[in-house]
Copies of this chain bind each other. A is one copy, B any other.
Amino acid sequence: MARRTVDVPALVESARAGSPRAVARLISLVEDGHESLREVMAALTPHAGSAYVIGLTGSPGVGKSTTTTALVGAFRERGLRVGVLAVDPSSPFSGGALLGDRVRMQDHALDPEVYIRSMASRGHLGGLSFTTPQAIRVLDAAGCDVVLVETVGVGQSEVEIAGLADTSVVLLAPGMGDGIQAAKAGILEIGDVFVVNKADRDGADATVRDLRHMISLGDRTEPGLWRPPVVKAVAAQKVGIDEVMEALDKHRAFVEENGELARRRERRAADEIETIVLATLRARFSHVAGHAGVVRLAREVLAGHLDPYAAADRLVVELGEQLTA
Contacts and interface: CB of A to CB of B under 8 A. Distances in A.
A130 to B, nearest CB: 10
Given A273-B294, A285-B277, A321-B324, A49 B309 contact: no
Which of A47, A134, A294, A306 has the most chain B CB atoms closer than 10 A to its own CB?
A: A294
B45 A308 contact: yes
A188 B266 CA distance: 44
A295 B297 CA distance: 37
Given A289-B274, A320-B322, A321-B324, A302 B269 contact: yes
Q: How many copies does the complex hold?
A: 2
Interface string A33-55: 00001100110111111000000
Given A45-B307, A266-B299, A278 B273 contact: no
Contacts of A298: 265-270, 272-273
Interface in A268-287: 268-270, 272-274, 276-278, 280-282, 284-285
Contact of A304 (B49, B272, B319): B49
Interface stretch (A68-76, A100-108, A243-251, A310-318): A310-318
Interface in A113-130: none
Interface residues of A, dominant DSSP: helix
A231 interface: no
A273 B41 CA distance: 33
Interface string A56-96: 00000000000000000000000000000000000000000
**Residue in A273, A278, A285 whose Cβ sees the most chain B Cβ within 10 Å:** A273
A320 B285 CA distance: 12
A8 interface: no
A46 B304 contact: yes
Interface in A8-50: 37-38, 41-42, 44-49
Interface of A: 37-38, 41-42, 44-49, 133-134, 265-270, 272-274, 276-278, 280-282, 284-285, 289, 294-295, 297-299, 301-313, 315-317, 319-324
Given A276-B312, A278-B281, 5 more contacts: A42-B310, A266-B295, A270-B298, A276-B309, A320-B321
22 contacts: A37-B309, A41-B309, A45-B301, A46-B304, A134-B308, A266-B295, A269-B301, A273-B308, A273-B311, A273-B315, A274-B289, A276-B312, A277-B315, A277-B316, A277-B319, A278-B282, A281-B281, A284-B316, A316-B323, A319-B320, A320-B322, A324-B324
